[in-house]
Amino acid sequence: MVKAIAIDGPSASGKSTVSKGVAAELGFIYVDSGALYRGVTWQAIRKGVDAKDSAEVIDCMLNAEWDFFVQDGAAVFSIDGDVPVQELRGKDVRESVADVASIPEVRKFVVESLQSLENFGSLVMEGRDIGTVVFPDSPYKFYLDADPEERAMRRYRELVAAGEDEKAHEVMESLKKRDKIDSTRKTDPLVVAPGAQVIDSTSMTLEEVVQTVVDAVKG
């Protein structure tokens, strides 16, 4: 049985959309690992903790009650009884999540939580370190990429469609800043996992990317 298909890559490379498509096609459980880093960040913000204060963030994370379950084919979590969804996408979380995700204790907590999800069944898990750290033995590893300009435009269009008041150049700057933090941090930086298939989606449709992954898994 396949434990986990690992899909890594930078922001707005298509990981979430492609992973959901692959999970639906194969009947696997979809897992958004970034949501957990966002969850830790959101919990800190709502408790009034400064996201740059590592000790406080760790304390806040460990003192919260976390529960994991599967809903509509996806792994979901609650924090102190609340299930944040839209809250995780807000600007405040987006601006601080890469700093929070650079804290080694936060990464340890999230990685262990993610690994425990294999008890639910076969997973399609997307993130930054799934093929390198969370499931390094997976035979199915993919690294999605796309040009930064294309990724920033995708994210911008998505935010505008969601009714957010955003400026294209600010989205571009925020994405570049997060790319830099994610790829240069000391603990588990974003790199292509050994053995991963790199897919550049700059000029591919979503359907083409999903099919490329599904075909590789089905052999």
Question: Would you tell me which residues interact with ligand CDP (CB under 6 A)?
Answer: 11-12, 16, 33-34, 37-38, 97-98, 101, 127-130, 178, 182
Near ligand ADP in 128-157, by CB under 6 A: 154-155
Does the footprint of ligand ADP cover residue 201 (CB under 6 A)?
yes
Q: Which of ligand CDP, ligand ADP, none does residue 206 bind to, with CB < 5 to 8 Å depending on kind?
A: ligand ADP
CA distance readout (Å), 146 to 153, 204, 208, 209: 11, 9, 14, 12
Minimum distance from residue 179 beta carbon to ligand CDP (Å): 8
Does the footprint of ligand ADP cover residue 15 (CB under 6 A)?
yes
Task: Note whether 119 and 63 are within 8 A (CB).
Answer: no
Does the footprint of ligand ADP cover residue 204 (CB under 6 A)?
yes
Sequence-separated (6 or more) residues with CB below 8 Å from residue 116: 68
Out of 4, 11, 88, 135, point to the residue binding ligand ADP (CB under 6 A). 11
Does the footprint of ligand ADP cover residue 44 (CB under 6 A)?
no
User: Kind of pairing, strands 74-79 and 66-71?
Assistant: antiparallel
Q: Which of ligand CDP, ligand ADP, none does residue 84 bind to, with CB < 5 to 8 Å depending on kind?
A: none
DSSP string of 97-142, one letter each residue: HHHHTT-HHHHHHHHHHHHHGGGGSSEEEEESSIIIIISTT-S-EE
Look up residue 99 and give its two tokens: 């700093």
Residues making contact with ligand ADP (CB under 6 A): 9, 11-17, 154-155, 158, 201, 204-206, 209
